[in-house]
């Protein structure tokens, strides 16, 4: 069957049909991305934290912009080549376009990867520390956990001893975590066993039967059994209670003829004692006990820790002593007091006082040193601003100082990794090759070459932490938007590249049969590709430069 | 639409010119947002990034986007129906941005609008 108006234009629109179609699609895309950009403005205006201005590495973004623009040109050249029936040129240009798309995605992948390994933490006083967490070491060897994996130094540690109780919610328990617990305990040569005989009435009017004996080791199957019994009993008991209550109402209505329901509703209740022989046991929680001692590790997001008793997100309650569980940065690469100053100003506290009294300044020698150095840098900046913009002539023609331009909040209160690097170079004569410097622009600071004197380790006690996350969507609304917008754009790049690659690798047959059709197809694919480029033209300044 | 071979040959030159303009525009955006020391006069408005830099940056971006749309996407000589589709999308989009001004009436955002 021949598809109409694919090669030749329709008379009424003057266009071939697919062109109308792609423009309708692009119109919907304009609104989709427009929605996200307006969300960006909305969140930025309403942010209750200092918006991270120009926090992304500009160089990869800039190169990506060049790459996309170049691919936009080559795709239009590929179309022109087809129009002029130059198959070879079409192949070359389209090949470059697809290569550009791949390059774009690789750079994006590097950028994402750096983000997902970069830790940020907001302390109780709103100062922010950024850097890289380390893995636990003993001497030079990494400590391995029960799975043989390195342990990130951001774990909540509980020490459980003989007789400590672990109680699972029989409906909410998370099987994977239970398996994890079992294997962790086994690794420490400890056991988790049933604290008491698990008995339950499982049949109406029946006797209590033994489900599992005291001392049965913890297993997911056992908990699943308890869950089955619990759910069954809940259903059964609820049915009984409803039935009994209905009966009560029937009786009560007979006894109070002509009265409204609400007038006698208080007297209507079920006689639970009479009902109890028929009820089944609801095993809502199963209690286990630890034999031996073990140290259990939990990701902070999975646990609400307490000194004697902690609760997991699946409602498992674990008795056990909370050990010191600091968050240990192996390399700190930024100290940010912007949020602290913002909160201090709300309370009418001077920024200097607030910074001076922050936990970091009180407890860390390096931060004090870095801050002293930073104040010197700010003084230099102020002087530079006055030299350039800060003079005015008075009526007698003399120059007087009039600082019109102040350092920004970011310059005043944030010590970023490039500042640390500069300080390290000044203090410790660290020199890096030009190539290394370029690499740093993509991958972030080179901790190895610059060493601990530039990016020092830092241990933060757990109770000083307000919120911690990797630079993932969880960290703040900026990163949430960054990943949403660039992720969606990346999906468009992949989709567009797939379509264009199809034309390149499977277009030969169509080219020989009906070259104009292929040219039209490439034009349509190209229109989409230009749109992807167009979106990036806005994404780049908005997310990277503002 | 440039359909004849001569017209396409001609427009290839335009494409290259636009390519150059886009590259220059991109570099300019970066320079305005974060001027190097020897180009400090590019730092419009107050020192550092502020609304003036944002406006300049967005204006450059809009110009670049217009170039792409007009030349690469052939919007400079297109049929009427396409203009209708595109313009109505832009209008809808703009009206959604307009919704932001409703936030003016929310006490949470008040402080911003009176900056």
* DSSP state string for A4-27: TTSSSPPTTTSS-HHHHHHHHHHH
Please answer yes or no on whether A385 and B47 come within 8 Å at the CB atom. Answer: yes
Answer for the pair A527, A76: CB distance below 8 angstroms, yes or no: no
| Chain B residues in contact with A407 (beta carbon < 8 A) | 47-48
DSSP A3: P
pLDDT digits (tens, 9 = 90+) for B2-18: 467 888 888 899 999 99
Determine which helix (DSSP H) or strand (DSSP E) holds A169, and give its type and residue range. strand A165-169
- Among candidate residues A360, A337, A328, A333, the one with its CA nearest the CA of residue A422: A333
- Among candidate residues A253, A243, A233, A235, the one with its CA nearest the CA of residue A274: A243
Beta bridge partners of A407: none
Which token pair is B31?
């320079």
Prediction ipTM score: 0.88
Query: Which pLDDT tens digits describe chain A residue by residue (546 residues)?
Result: 678 888 888 888 888 899 999 999 999 999 999 989 989 988 998 889 999 988 898 999 999 999 999 999 999 999 999 999 999 999 999 999 999 999 999 999 999 999 999 999 999 999 999 999 988 888 888 988 888 889 888 999 999 999 999 999 999 999 999 999 999 999 999 999 999 999 999 888 888 899 999 999 999 999 999 999 999 999 999 999 999 999 999 999 999 888 888 888 888 888 888 888 889 999 999 999 999 999 999 999 999 989 899 999 999 999 999 999 999 999 999 999 999 999 999 999 999 999 999 999 999 999 999 999 999 999 998 888 888 777 777 777 777 776 677 888 899 999 999 999 999 988 888 888 889 888 888 888 888 888 888 999 999 999 999 999 999 999 999 999 999 999 999 999 999 999 999 999 999 999 999 999 999 999 999 999 999 999 999 999 999 998
* B:57-76 residues touching chain A, CB 8 A cutoff: 57-58, 60-61, 64-65, 68-69, 72-73
Answer for the pair B42, B32: CB distance below 8 angstroms, yes or no: yes
Write down all domains in chain A, each with its CATH number in brackets. Answer: 17-118+472-545 (1.20.120.80), 156-324 (no CATH), 333-470 (no CATH)
Please answer yes or no on whether A23 and B85 come within 8 Å at the CB atom. Answer: yes
Answer for the pair A482, A544: CB distance below 8 angstroms, yes or no: no
Measure the N-to-C terminal CA separation of chain B; round to a whole number of Å: 48
Alpha-helical regions (H) of A399-476: 409-413, 417-428, 434-443, 447-454
Residue matched to tokens 């050249």:
A77
In this complex, the residue of A411, A527, A542 whose CB is nearest that of residue B48 is: A411
Question: Phi, psi at residue B104, to the nearest 5°?
Answer: -55, -35
| Calpha distance A237→A278 (Å, rounded) | 8
Q: Does A406 touch chain B (CB under 8 A)?
A: yes
pLDDT digits (tens, 9 = 90+) for A508-539: 999 999 999 999 999 999 999 999 999 999 99
Taking the CA of residue A297 as centre, how many other CA atoms within 13 Å lie in the half-sphere pointing to its CB?
18
| Chain A residues in contact with B27 (beta carbon < 8 A) | 62
Answer for the pair A222, A181: CB distance below 8 angstroms, yes or no: no
In this complex, the residue of B8, B65, B73 whose CB is nearest that of residue A527 is: B73
How many Cβ pairs closer than 8 A exist between chain A and B?
Answer: 145
Answer for the pair B52, B44: CB distance below 8 angstroms, yes or no: yes
Which token pair is A242?
């409803």
- Among candidate residues A303, A330, A433, the one with its CA nearest the CA of residue A117: A330
| Chain A residues in contact with B105 (beta carbon < 8 A) | none
| Greatest Cα pair distance in chain B | 61
- Above 70 in pLDDT, residue B106? no
Please answer yes or no on whether B82 and A388 come within 8 Å at the CB atom. Answer: no
Question: Which of B47, B57, B68 to probe the A interface (max A CBs under 10 A)?
Answer: B47
Which token pair is A229?
């019994």
pLDDT digits (tens, 9 = 90+) for B66-88: 999 999 999 888 888 899 998 99
Query: Per this entry, what is the length of chain B?
Result: 115
Which token pair is A420?
């640390």
Question: Which three-class secondary structure state does DSSP give residue A303?
Answer: strand
Average pLDDT of the residues of chain A: 92
pLDDT digits (tens, 9 = 90+) for A123-181: 999 999 999 998 888 888 898 888 888 988 899 999 999 999 999 999 999 999 999 99
Question: Which of B9, B44, B85 to probe the A interface (max A CBs under 10 A)?
Answer: B85
pLDDT at B2: 46
Question: Which of A40, A57, A68, A73 to probe the B interface (max B CBs under 10 A)?
Answer: A73
pLDDT at B109: 54
Q: Does A59 touch chain B (CB under 8 A)?
A: no
Which token pair is A119?
């830790």
Domain boundaries, chain B: 1-78, 79-115
A307: exposed, middle or buried (C-beta count within 10 Å: 0-12, 13-18, 19+)?
A: exposed
Closest-CA distance, A15 to chain B, in angstroms, reads 7
DSSP A279: P
Integer CA distances (angstroms), A14 to A5, A17, A519, B42, B78, in order: 10, 9, 17, 47, 10
* Per-residue confidence band for B1, with pLDDT thresholds at 50, 70 and 90: very low
Model pTM score: 0.85
pLDDT at A523: 94
Query: Per this entry, what is the length of chain A?
Result: 546
pLDDT digits (tens, 9 = 90+) for A425-452: 888 888 888 898 888 888 888 888 888 8
Please answer yes or no on whether A76 and B72 come within 8 Å at the CB atom. Answer: yes
């Amino acid at each position: 069957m021949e598809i109409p108006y694919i090669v030749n234009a329709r008379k009424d629109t003057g266009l071939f049909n697919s062109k109308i179609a792609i423009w309708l699609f692009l119109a919907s895309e304009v609104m989709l991305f427009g929605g996200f950009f307006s969300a960006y403005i909305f969140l930025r205006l309403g942010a209750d934290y200092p918006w991270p201005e120009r926090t992304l590495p500009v160089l990869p973004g800039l190169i990506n912009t060049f790459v996309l623009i170049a691919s936009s040109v080559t795709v239009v050249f590929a179309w022109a080549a087809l129009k002029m029936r130059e198959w070879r040129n079409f192949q070359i240009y389209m090949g470059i376009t697809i290569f550009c798309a791949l390059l774009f995605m690789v750079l994006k992948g590097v950028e994402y990867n750096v983000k997902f390994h970069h830790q940020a933490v907001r302390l109780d006083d709103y100062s922010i520390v950024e850097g890289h967490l380390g893995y636990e070491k003993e001497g030079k060897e990494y400590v391995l956990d029960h799975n043989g994996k390195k342990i990130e130094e951001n774990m909540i540690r509980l020490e459980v001893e003989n007789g400590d109780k672990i109680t699972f919610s029989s409906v909410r328990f998370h099987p994977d975590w239970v398996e994890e617990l079992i294997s962790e305990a086994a690794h420490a040569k400890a056991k988790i066993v049933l604290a008491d005989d698990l008995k339950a009435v499982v049949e109406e009017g029946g006797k209590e039967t033994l489900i599992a004996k005291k001392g049965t080791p913890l297993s997911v199957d056992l908990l699943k059994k308890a869950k089955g019994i619990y759910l069954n009993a809940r259903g059964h008991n609820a049915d009984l209670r409803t039935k009994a209550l209905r009966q009560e109402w029937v009786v009560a209505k007979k006894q109070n003829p002509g009265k409204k329901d609400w007038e006698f509703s208080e007297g209507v209740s079920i006689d639970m004692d009479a009902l109890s022989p028929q009820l089944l046991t609801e095993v809502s929680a199963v209690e286990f006990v630890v034999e031996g001692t073990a140290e259990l590790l939990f990701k902070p997001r999975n646990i609400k820790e307490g000194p004697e008793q902690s609760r997991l997100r699946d409602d498992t309650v674990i008795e056990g002593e909370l050990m010191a569980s600091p968050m240990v940065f192996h390399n700190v690469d930024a100290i940010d007091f912007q949020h602290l100053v913002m909160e201090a100003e709300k309370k009418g506290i001077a920024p200097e006082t607030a910074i001076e009294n922050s936990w970091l300044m009180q407890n860390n020698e390096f931060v004090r040193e870095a801050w002293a150095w930073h104040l010197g840098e700010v003084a230099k900046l102020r002087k530079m601003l006055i030299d350039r913009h800060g003079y005015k002539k008075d009526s007698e023609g003399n120059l007087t100082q009039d600082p019109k331009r102040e350092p920004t909040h970011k310059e005043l209160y944030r010590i970023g990794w490039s500042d640390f690097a500069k300080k390290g170079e000044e203090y410790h004569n660290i020199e890096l090759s030009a190539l290394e410097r370029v690499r740093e622009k993509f991958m972030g600071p080179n901790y190895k070459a610059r060493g601990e004197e530039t990016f020092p380790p830092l241990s933060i006690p757990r109770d000083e932490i307000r919120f911690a996350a990797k630079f993932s969507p969880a960290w703040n609304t900026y990163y949430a938007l960054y990943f949403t917008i660039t992720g969606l754009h990346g999906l468009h790049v992949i989709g567009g590249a797939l379509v264009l690659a199809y034309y390149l690798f499977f277009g030969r047959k169509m080219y020989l049969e009906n070259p104009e059709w292929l040219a039209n197809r490439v034009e349509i694919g190209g229109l989409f590709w230009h749109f992807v480029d167009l979106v990036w033209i806005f994404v780049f300044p908005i997310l990277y430069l503002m | 639409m440039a359909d004849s071979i001569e017209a396409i040959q001609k427009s290839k030159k335009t494409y290259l010119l636009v390519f150059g303009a886009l590259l220059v525009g991109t570099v300019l955006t970066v320079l305005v947002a974060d001027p190097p020391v020897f180009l400090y006069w590019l730092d419009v408005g107050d020192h550092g990034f502020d609304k003036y830099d944002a406006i300049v940056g967005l204006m450059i971006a809009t110009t670049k986007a217009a170039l792409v749309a007009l030349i690469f996407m052939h919007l400079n000589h297109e049929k009427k129906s396409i203009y209708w589709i595109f313009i109505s999308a832009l209008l809808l989009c703009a009206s959604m941005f307009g919704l932001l001004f409703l936030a003016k009436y929310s006490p949470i955002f008040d402080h911003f609008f009176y900056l």
